[in-house]
Structure 1
Amino acid sequence: MLPSFFLAHGAPTLVLENNEYTKFLRDLANELQRPKGIVLFSAHWEEPIQSISGVETYDMIYDFYGFPDEMYQITYPATGNKQMTKEIQALLTAQGIPSRIDEKRGLDHGAWVILRLMYPDADIPVTTLSVNPALPPQEQYQIGRALASLRDKDILIIGSGGTVHNLRRLEWNGTHPNEWAVAFDRWLANQLEEWDLESLFQYENRAPYAKDAVPRNEHFIPLLIAMGAANDQRKANLLYQNYQYGTLSLSCWQFGE
Structure 2
Amino acid sequence: MGQRQSKQPSPAAAVHARATTTPTPTPGEDEQQGSALEAERRGRRRTTTRRAAEGAMDTFFLSHGAPTLSIDDTIAAQGFFKSWLPAAVAGAELPRAILVVSGHWEAAAPTVNVIRGNNDTIHDFYGFPKAMYKLKYPAPGAPDLAMKTKELLEQAGFGPVKEDHSRGLDHGAWVPLMFMYPEANVPVCQLSLQSGRDGAYHYELGRALAPLRDDGVLVLGSGSATHNLRRMGPEGTPVPQWAAEFDGWLQEALLGGRHDDVKRYEEKAPHGRVAHPSPDHFLPLHVALGAAGEGAKAELIHRSWSNASLSYASYRFTTAKN
- Structure-2-length-normalised TM-score: 0.77
Residue 61 of structure 2 corresponds to 6
The Cα shift of 1:201 comes to 2.1
Does residue 99 of structure 2 align to residue 39 of structure 1?
Answer: yes
Residue 152 of structure 2 corresponds to 91
Q: Is the 8 A contact 2:98 2:187 kept in 1?
A: yes
Percent identical pairs in the alignment equals 39
Residue 312 of structure 2 corresponds to 250
Q: Which has the higher strand share?
A: 1
Alignment-mate amino acid for residue 61 of structure 2? F
Q: Is the 8 A contact 1:61 1:106 kept in 2?
A: yes
CA distance in 1, matches of 2:153, 2:67: 30
CA distance in 2, matches of 1:231, 1:179: 32
Q: CA RMSD in A?
A: 1.3
Which string of whole-angstrom CA distances, capped at 9 and with x for unpartnered residues, describes residues 60-79 of structure 1?
21111110010110001111
Residue 23 of structure 1 corresponds to 79
Alignment-mate amino acid for residue 73 of structure 2? N
Alignment-mate amino acid for residue 79 of structure 1? P
Higher alpha-carbon Rg: 2
The Cα shift of 1:233 comes to 4.8
How do residues 159-178 of structure 1 correspond to structure 2 at under 5 angstroms? 159-178=221-240
Residue 209 of structure 1 corresponds to 271
The Cα shift of 1:133 comes to 3.4
How do residues 1-257 of structure 1 correspond to structure 2 at under 5 angstroms? 1-19=56-74, 20-30=76-86, 31=88, 32-33=90-91, 34-56=94-116, 57-98=118-159, 99-256=161-318
Alignment-mate amino acid for residue 2 of structure 1? M
Which string of whole-angstrom CA distances, capped at 9 and with x for unpartnered residues, describes residues 19-48 of structure 1?
432121121223132211000001001101
Q: Is the 8 A contact 2:225 2:314 kept in 1?
A: no
24-33 or 165-174, which moves further after superposition?
24-33
Q: Which has the higher contact order (CA 8 A, sep 6+)?
A: 1
43-52 or 172-181, which moves further after superposition?
172-181
CA distance in 1, matches of 2:184, 2:225: 27
Alignment-mate amino acid for residue 318 of structure 2? G
Unaligned runs of 5+ in 2: 1-55
Which string of whole-angstrom CA distances, capped at 9 and with x for unpartnered residues, describes residues 126-174 of structure 1?
0111112311211100111111111111110000000100110000244
Q: Is the 8 A contact 2:198 2:283 kept in 1?
A: no
CA distance in 2, matches of 1:126, 1:51: 14
The Cα shift of 1:214 comes to 0.5
CA distance in 1, matches of 2:262, 2:176: 25
Q: Is the 8 A contact 2:140 2:186 kept in 1?
A: yes
Q: Which runs of 4+ in 1 moved over 3 A?
A: none
Q: Structure 1 236/18 Cα, relative in aligned 2: closer, same or farther at 3 Å?
A: same
CA distance in 2, matches of 1:133, 1:206: 22
Q: Is the 8 A contact 2:235 2:306 kept in 1?
A: no
The Cα shift of 1:247 comes to 0.3
Tell me the SS of whatever aligns to 1:226: helix
Tell me the SS of whatever aligns to 1:29: coil
Q: Is the 8 A contact 2:63 2:225 kept in 1?
A: yes
